[in-house]
A = this chain, B = another copy of it.
Amino acid sequence: MATHDKPILHGYFRSSCSWRVRIAFALKGIEYEQIPVNLIKDGGQQLTDQYKALNPMQQVPVVEMDGITLSQSLAVIQYIDETRPGPKLLPACPKRRAQVRVICDVIASGIQPLQNLYVLQKIGADKVEWAQHFIQRGFQALEPILKETAGTYCVGDELSMADICIVPQVYNAQRFKVDVGQFPTIDRLNQTLEEIEAFRVSHPSCQPDTPADLRA
């Protein structure tokens, strides 16, 4: 059953959390199947009973691998890192691991949840200003943090889970027309990372469910 050995990613091309997982798989050189979950079509395919059984939070991504079903992108990425060979996605040094996790959590708890689809639908008419506000606020905090920790990448000169989180968040910032140029460290890191193969192949512009008019 070769196909069952491949992890299955339930995701959406434009979801920043799905993109995080795609980057991790690509960095590790892991082949996986994608099952698209269209967050817009039919009122949102993540709201079906079938999907709810997979993830009661009714969000993407969900990954099925090794006989378990995991939601929450950072839990998935750390599971992949702890069980698969290839480049380590967290540094060996505990202090650097902590710095990586601080950056990831500023994004995954402090920015993304406040500008995701569900919350913006609930905000209604003011949703663009709301999203801009929380991205701007988060980047204002990330910039001095990254100025301290960054080398070539977010924490020193080794790629890590922090880099996996920052690129999709910059993509969201650009969608909401936040001027990333205000944040020179974030901007520089993003430009460096965008060139890396694993970030390119996983980009929202070239996924199986990317609509034709948004393809690169």
Contacts and interface: CB of A to CB of B under 8 A. Distances in A.
Contacts of A112: 109
A126 B157 CA distance: 46
B74 A105 contact: yes
A69 to B, nearest CB: 9
A98 B78 contact: yes
Nearest to A123: B123
Contact of A102 (B70, B105, B122, B144): B70
A51 B145 CA distance: 14
Contacts of A101: 72, 74-75, 78-79
Interface residues of A, number: 43
Given A71-B102, A109-B113, A140 B56 contact: yes
A141 B145 CA distance: 33
A145 B54 CA distance: 10
Taking chain A's interface residues, is the majority helix, strand, or loop, or is none over half, making it mixed? Answer: helix
Interface string A69-88: 01110111011001100000
Contacts of A99: 68, 70
A142 B114 CA distance: 19
A201 interface: no
Interface of A: 55-59, 66, 68, 70-72, 74-76, 78-79, 82-83, 94-95, 97-99, 101-102, 104-106, 108-110, 112-114, 119, 122, 133, 138, 140-145
Given A57-B110, A68-B99, 16 more contacts: A55-B141, A59-B110, A66-B95, A70-B98, A71-B106, A72-B101, A72-B105, A74-B101, A75-B104, A78-B101, A79-B94, A79-B97, A82-B94, A108-B109, A109-B109, A113-B113
4 tightest A-B CB contacts, nearest first: A75-B101, A56-B141, A72-B105, A79-B98
